[in-house]
A and B are shown apart, each in its own frame.
Chain A
C-alpha cells in the first residue's frame, strides 16, 4: 500500500477527530460537523484513508424507516499513522513558533 498520502491540514483534522474516540464508529455527517469540513472535502479524505487501509468502514444495520448509514473507524495501522502524523505536524509547528519568537 503506498504511504505517500499528503497530510493536508484537513486530513490531519479528520485524523484527529477520528482519534478522539478511536474505538467508536463515526458517521460522515457527525465528522463533517465536528471538523467543519464540507462533504466534498471530507469524503475524498475518507476514501483515501480507506484505500490505504487506515480506515475501517461498515454499513449500519437499517433501522425502521431509515436508510443504513456508513460508519468509519481508524484501524490499528491508521491510529498509529494518525498519531505519528499529528506529532510530526505539532513538532514542525513548535519549530516554526520558536523560529518566529527568536526574530
Chain B
C-alpha cells in the first residue's frame, strides 16, 4: 500500500503535466510533451515537482505569448490591448465574486439567482474580449457602451462617496475614454468591416 501510494505520488507530476498538455493548442503541445518525456530521467520527487511546476508556468508563458501574437495578427494593436484589458477585468471581477462567496450570510438557495446575475455581469467584459478577439463589430460597439457605462459608474462613485484612492477611479475614467476614442478610430473601424464581396451577374 505504501509503495503504491509512493508510486502514485511520483506519477502525479507526470499526470499533471499530461493534463496541461491536453489543454494546449498544437504548436505548444510539443514543448509540453518534451518536458513530460524528460520526467522519465528525473528520479528525485522534489526535482520532479519543481520541473512540473516551473514547466507549467513556462507553458502558460508560451500560451500567453502565442495568444498575444495571434491577437496582433488578427486586429489592430489597440483592439488587442483592449481585448486583453477586458479579459483581465473579467478575471478580476469573477475572482472577486468567488472570493466574496464565503462571506455570504443569505442561504445559497435564496442567493442563487442574484449570484447568477452577478456572475453574468462579471463575465460581460470576457464576452466582449472574445468578440474583439474575433474582430466582431458588435463586440466593438458593446466595448464602447461598456466603457461608457463603466466611466459613468466611476463618475457617480466619485461624486457620491470618498474613495480611499481617488486617483484610481479618475485613472479608470481616463482609460475608458481612451478606449472609446481608440475603438472609434477610422483605422480600427475599417479593420472590423468585412471585406467587400464582388457580385457579378451571370451571363
Contact = CB atoms under 8 A, between A and B. Distances in A.
B58 A43 contact: yes
Interface string B36-72: 1110111000000011111111110110010000000
A28 B38 contact: yes
A95 interface: no
Given A28-B38, A29-B38, A70 B54 contact: no
Interface of A: 27-29, 32, 38-44, 46-47, 57, 66-70
B32 to A, nearest CB: 9
Contacts of A40: 53-59, 61
Interface of B: 28, 30-31, 33-38, 40-42, 50-59, 61-62, 65
Contacts of A32: 51
Contacts of A44: 58, 61-62, 65
Contacts, number: 64
Nearest to B57: A40
Given A40-B61, A43-B31, A47-B62, A67 B54 contact: no
Contacts of B59: 40, 43
Contact of A29 (B41, B53, B58): B41
A100 to B, nearest CB: 34
A38 B38 contact: no
B31 A46 contact: yes
Contact of B38 (A41, A47, A57, A69): A69
A79 B65 CA distance: 25
A32 B35 CA distance: 11
Nearest to A38: B54
Given A39-B38, A47-B31, 18 more contacts: A38-B51, A39-B51, A39-B52, A40-B57, A40-B59, A40-B61, A41-B54, A42-B58, A43-B34, A44-B58, A44-B65, A46-B31, A57-B30, A67-B36, A67-B40, A69-B38, A69-B40, A70-B34
A43 B65 CA distance: 13
A32 B47 CA distance: 11
B5 to A, nearest CB: 23
Most buried by A among B30, B35, B42, B65: B35
